[in-house]
Amino acid sequence: MQNLDYPVRRADDKTTLLDFIARKLGLSKKAAKAILDQRSVSVNGTRIWMARHALAVGDSVTILRDGLDVTGPARRPVPILFRDKHCVVAAKPAGILSCGPRSLETLLQEQLGIATLMAVHRLDRDTSGCLLFSCDAETNERMIAAFRAKTVTKVYHAIVHGPMKRGEHRVSKPIGGKTAVSNVRVLDVSSNATHVAVSIETGRTHQIRIHLASVRHPVMGDRKYASGVKLSEKLSGIPRQMLHAQALRFRHPVTDALMRVTAPLPSDFQACLNTFKLT
């Protein structure tokens, strides 16, 4: 099956991208939204997933081949990084919510046959990597308490705009009036980008993305906090924010054993590293 290309005619001027896809493919809006959620639509060569994006006469809309299966990649089995009868750590793919309807939580409940499975914490829709789930209410309470006590360590990898000074950097800037601290370690630098590892001492919403943008090194592909960065041809093909929850370390809620779980870098993240000659 080939990519589908559609020019935007006068009759479709100012039509939202969601309505345009639904109309051209004869799909429900729900099915068209699933294609957008897979990051499989580009407008004039730039991937767009905002349903309300307004089209203009002369735009070219391409629906990529991998998006034409509207059941989406989330229907493939989710990789399990650790599992016992108390908790599960899964490798969350980008493009899916952590919990709620049609989320990774509901998919794993079905995949593992555990109706009581609950996400203990959350990752942004476009962030991939380690996500911890409890198998019962008692374990869930214990793990939430561990997060509040700051005994859970989370390490993220990110690819950011521009060359960052090598070494380690501490970013301590309040978010929403609350203390927020991120520790950034530079892993590799090229002329246009930097590969970093980030450990966070606090867990504010969008903390890493906000902190890296505040030091003028926003995350590649971040359409919210990197909005002031002009996209080059290389950047326009990046499908999502290059942020990956690489490692999770915690005390097992029942055995008290020290657990360290890691999630391999996904293919899109590795491809971005290769594009910018990073390791």
- Of the candidates 240, 245, 210, the one whose C-alpha atom is nearest the C-alpha of residue 223 is 240
CA distance 55 to 223: 18
Q: Annotated catalytic, 126?
A: no
Q: Which of 12, 37, 59, 124 is catalytic?
A: 124
Cβ-proximal residues to 113 (8 Å cutoff; 6+ apart), any chain: none
Alpha-carbon distance of 206 to 223, in angstroms, equals: 13
Burial 128-167 (b: 16+ CB within 10 A, else e): bbbbbbbbbeebbebbbebeeeeebebbbbbbbbeebeee
From CA 40, how far away is CA 49, in angstroms rounded?
8
Q: Output the CA angle 173-203-210, nearest 5 degrees.
A: 45
3-state percent helix, strand, coil for the chain, nearest multiple of 5? 25, 30, 45
Give the type of residue at 46.
T
Which residues are designated catalytic?
124
